[in-house]
Structure 1
């Protein structure tokens, strides 16, 4: 296909993706109340416990146009998430024709595995949110109120879900590196102690809250997923070893035939 045709196809797919995101944003605008209830549910669960400890906390929206901007931001992000299958398919539709058959199979397999892992990580973050909110707002001194802006709360929720979702992709990264020959199962096993330390350091730095419990909620699943990926890499290396041809070293000579025959034969 000529370059101009590629650019036209790219333009068509971008227009379709943007149109889908626009429609998704409009749909999310009409379901704004339901989406807002879903996002604030972890905060509302922990609010009575805060009040029992004498901490008055509320989510507020500041500014004249703050409510409109907040609703637009939530609707836009929700629209992008709702229409992700459409614009992701448009992206793959543009990239896949340039791949070989084996590359297409692996790309589709990684996509089909990566999306559920990311959603599972985001769901775990949603479960952990009440504890994280409780810990962070719990530092408010006695007799002092706490006001959380809607934009700040929304950014906190999105960041928690993104961190947990990206962390859940560890098995895919490890398996992909193993498949391309960058690391072997033996190397993964020898680096396991340092990997465990790195996982806990990442969990401590990446989580918005500073409590050990939230860090463990992120670090333990990451560690389990890494060990699962290590087992898969070990199985893959064994299969590669069985299918690889036997190579002789330069010092290993081939057997010689001791029997000789006359030149006339």
Structure 2
């Protein structure tokens, strides 16, 4: 009987990593529990990505066609500008077609599972927030998902133009064939799409920092010129294609989103009664020890 009674407990301990650790009554959690929760959140996110990737296998041919469409679009644009231009995409190795299918499915799984892994990020942060902040956090989650998907969509649309711009430098009336290796091409496409998707989360991050009291709206206004310059530098470095069109296509939306975040932060600060003058007075009081 004693052995039978302990079996459920032993099984519960073995499967304990499948459940997030419980927070103590005071709203605190030990360091090891925090690490266990990180493991739990990462595991759930990874499982969601794996499952959506496996589900994508059933229509991977359509996915391959979808991720190759930017190449076909760019090819048509290059040939329209230079009819003599020669473009060819190649597979290097016997397993290259299989690698292509895997990349297509994982790429699909990462995008389709974004509500799950974004929620896991929120669920990890939420216990440390008060009820009012949790309400804002749900709003962030609702804004982050469409912004991320919008950024990915913009990157997908911009990518063909970036290819066409770079291949447009091929000299005319010369017997030159542009060979694009499939793996390198897809790697660059994935980077472009993810960079755009993550960059479009800029306003969500800034507003979150404002609600947390780290950044004020007037501070964003002061830093505006430097941030605009920084977005262009970031876009030039982050876009792997290095063409000016992709750089502008990333930096301009980021600049607009920064302005949007600044407006939202100023509105939130106004509701709290925070202005540049009151913030300066508070800083003086702190320095005087009042």
- Please tell me the TM-score bracket, short chain as reference: 0.7 to 0.9
Residue in 2 that maps onto 1:148? 180
Indicate how the Cα distance of structure 1 residues 32 and 171 shifts in structure 2: closer, same or farther if over 3 A, else same: same
For residue 17 of structure 2, what is the aligned residue in structure 1? 7
Supply the distance in 2 between the matched residues of 1:190 and 1:91 (Cα, whole angstroms): 30
Moved more, 43-52 or 78-87: 78-87
Across the two proteins, how many residue pairs are aligned to each other? 244
Question: How far is 1:116 from its partner?
Answer: 0.8
Alignment of 1:223 onto 2:233: no
Deviation of 1:17 after TM superposition, in Å, equals 5.4
Partner of 1:78: 108
Which one is further off, 227-236 or 77-86?
77-86
* Cα deviation code 1:108-149 (max 9, x no counterpart): 221111111111111111111111011222334432212212
Aligned CA distance change for structure 1 residues 161 and 187 (closer, same or farther; 3 Å): same
For the residue of structure 1 that corresponds to 2:88, the secondary structure is strand
Q: TM-score, normalised by structure 2?
A: 0.73
CA offset digits 1:159-178 (Å, max 9, x no partner): 11111111111111221222
Counterpart position of 2:96: 66
> For residue 53 of structure 2, what is the aligned residue in structure 1?
25
Task: State the TM-score, normalized to the length of structure 1.
Answer: 0.79
For the Cα contact (< 8 Å) 1:163–1:207, is it kept in 2? yes
Given the alignment of the two structures, is residue 210 of structure 1 paired with residue 220 of structure 2, yes or no? no
Of structures 1 and 2, the one with the larger relative CO (CA 8 A, separation 6+) is: 1
How big is each residue's C-alpha offset from its partner over 1:55-89, in whole Å with a ceiling of 9 and x where there is no partner?
A: 21122211111211221222223223323434555
How has the CA–CA distance of structure 1 residues 74 and 183 changed in structure 2, closer, same or farther, with 3 Å as cutoff?
Answer: same
Provide closer, same or farther for how the CA distance between residues 95 and 29 of structure 1 changes in structure 2, counting only shifts above 3 A. Answer: same
What pairs with 1:80-159 in structure 2 (closer than 5 Å)?
80-86=110-116, 88-89=118-119, 96=126, 99-141=129-171, 142-159=174-191
Structure with bigger gyration radius: 1
Q: Judging changes above 3 Å, is the alpha-carbon distance between structure 1 residues 229 and 87 closer, same or farther for their aligned structure 2 residues?
A: closer
Tell me the SS of whatever aligns to 1:31. Answer: helix
Which 5+ residue runs of structure 2 have no aligned equivalent? Answer: 1-12, 21-38, 286-290
1:200 and 2:232 equivalent?
Answer: yes
Confirm whether residue 42 of structure 1 aligns to residue 70 of structure 2: yes
Deviation at 1:23, TM superposition (A): 3.5
Kindly indicate whether the alpha-carbon contact (under 8 Å) linking 1:200 and 1:215 is maintained by their aligned counterparts in 2.
yes
Q: Structure 1 regions of 5+ residues with no counterpart? A: 250-265
Give distance in 1, aligned partners of 2:211 and 2:130.
16
